[in-house]
């Protein structure tokens, strides 16, 4: 890699999962939409994704967010994963909002809340930031529509029944106990082993055309466990993305997919506000209502609203040099 100009970032974590917002140093990106700019970045500057997210500057679970201009919204952003590009990322949206406040790009000005629109590759979403004494106390966003596409699927090579749902990314949803997955920090290693195997197997069935109406591969496997405490539905979950990568947060897009599943199964009512809890016992609040203008879609679509909080962890200037033998970064599975 040639010498890289200084790339500046603001880092945060949302319920334990990192977001690295790129604030300067990137080349000008071409394209009319945020999706176009993401494609331009992927085609011509992908080495900067690995430079910023892989070791030694990052790790397998690091997520990046590239802030851009938008002709459709107040801000534009696309999301970088350690292995791929994400059409939408909920925890990073919350992290971005806190970063915009940190940079002074949004300001409460005496208000107890403010709202802005955000163009992401998956569409345009609205974000609401709530303040108390001009300090952020929560960030909520109305996600892209979520929906179920299949339920109670069984294949001999997959160790548990699963559902398929979309919440900005595609998920296989599996009841944790049915796959012998423990939703605690001590259960993560086993969950990643099972989840990565299941993901590979499901995608093989999708590629073979074994699942009707499912043309796209799943991004992740979501293990869940639901219960009611004093009338409140508590959704505990863990999202596995790769053999060495899981979502530390309750996962915004995963929670959106889970809301569609819960409503379709009759476990919660449309509009009911639930707790979505990660394995670290940090919560998102979430609800979803049917989309009123879904058109002729065969499946019911839902508008999810996810609310959480992020915290700034640092500001960085990353420097690359041509004589660095690991300039593009590395990952170990």
Per-residue pLDDT for 1 more than 80? no
- How far is residue 86's CA from residue 312's CA, in Å, rounded to a whole number? 22
Domains of the chain in start order, with CATH, are 4-142+312-320 (3.10.310.10), 146-290 (3.10.310.10)
Per-residue pLDDT for 294 more than 80? no
| 235 phi and psi angles, rounded to 5 deg | -105, 110
pLDDT digits (tens, 9 = 90+) for 95-145: 999 999 999 999 999 999 999 999 999 889 999 999 999 999 999 999 989
Per-residue pLDDT for 160 more than 70? yes
Per-residue pLDDT for 39 more than 80? yes
Is the C-alpha dihedral spanning 304, 305, 309, 312 positive or negative?
Answer: positive
Specify the pLDDT at position 186: 96
Per-residue pLDDT for 80 more than 80? yes
pLDDT digits (tens, 9 = 90+) for 194-206: 999 999 999 999 9
Question: Locate tokens 């929906």: which residue?
Answer: 147
**Strand 17-24 to strand 64-68: parallel, antiparallel, or no bridges (unpaired)?**
parallel
Specify the pLDDT at position 332: 85
Specify the pLDDT at position 295: 53
Neighbouring C-alpha atoms within 13 Å toward the C-beta of 262: 31
Average pLDDT of every residue of the chain: 94
Percent of the chain past pLDDT 70, that is, above it, reads 96
Per-residue pLDDT for 305 more than 60? yes
Judge whether 218 and 199 are in contact, CB under 8 Å. yes
pLDDT digits (tens, 9 = 90+) for 225-282: 999 999 999 999 999 998 999 999 999 999 999 999 999 999 999 999 999 999 999 9
Judge whether 63 and 92 are in contact, CB under 8 Å. yes
DSSP for 165-199 reads EESSSEEEEEEGGGGT---SGGGHHHHHHHHHHHH
Question: Locate tokens 């080495």: which residue?
Answer: 47
Which residues touch 90 (CB under 8 Å, ≥6 apart)? 141, 143, 168, 249, 251, 252, 253, 254, 255, 256, 306
Percent of the chain past pLDDT 90, that is, above it, reads 86
Specify the pLDDT at position 323: 84
Averaged pLDDT for residues 296-314: 89
Specify the pLDDT at position 87: 85
- How far is residue 100's CA from residue 22's CA, in Å, rounded to a whole number? 11
Cβ atoms within 10 Å of 180's Cβ, excluding its own: 12
Specify the pLDDT at position 132: 96
Residues serving a catalytic function are: 89, 251
Specify the pLDDT at position 2: 52
């Amino acid at each position: 890699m040639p010498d890289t100009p200084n790339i500046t970032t603001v880092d945060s974590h949302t319920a334990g999962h990192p977001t690295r917002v790129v604030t300067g140093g990137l080349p000008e990106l071409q394209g009319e939409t945020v999706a176009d700019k993401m494609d331009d970045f992927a085609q011509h500057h992908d080495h900067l994704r690995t430079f910023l997210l892989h070791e030694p500057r990052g790790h397998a679970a690091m997520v990046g967010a590239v802030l851009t201009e938008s002709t459709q919204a107040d801000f534009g952003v696309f999301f970088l994963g350690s292995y791929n590009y994400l059409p939408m990322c909920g925890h990073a949206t919350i992290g971005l909002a806190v970063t915009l406040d940190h940079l002074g790009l949004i300001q409460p000005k005496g208000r107890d809340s403010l709202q802005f629109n955000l163009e992401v590759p998956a569409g345009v979403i609205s974000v609401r930031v709530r303040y108390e004494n001009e300090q952020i106390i929560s960030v909520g966003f109305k996600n892209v529509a979520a929906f179920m596409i299949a339920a109670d699927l069984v294949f001999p090579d997959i160790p548990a029944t699963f559902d398929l749902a979309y919440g900005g990314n595609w998920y296989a949803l599996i009841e944790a106990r049915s796959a012998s997955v423990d939703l605690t920090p001590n259960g993560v290693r086993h969950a990643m082993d099972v989840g990565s195997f299941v993901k590979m197997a499901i995608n093989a069935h999708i590629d073979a055309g074994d699942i009707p109406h499912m043309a796209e591969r799943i991004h992740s496997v979501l293990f869940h466990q639901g219960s009611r405490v004093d009338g409140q539905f508590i959704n505990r979950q863990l999202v596995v993305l790769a053999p060495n990568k899981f979502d530390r947060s309750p996962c915004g897009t995963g929670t959106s997919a889970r809301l569609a599943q819960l409503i379709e199964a009759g476990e919660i009512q449309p509009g009911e506000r639930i707790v979505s809890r990660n394995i670290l016992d940090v919560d998102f609040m979430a609800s979803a209502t049917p989309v009123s203008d879904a058109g002729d879609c065969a499946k019911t679509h839902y508008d999810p609203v996810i609310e959480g909080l992020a915290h700034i962890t640092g500001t960085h200037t990353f420097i690359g040099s041509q004589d660095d033998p690991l300039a593009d970064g590395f990952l170990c599975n």
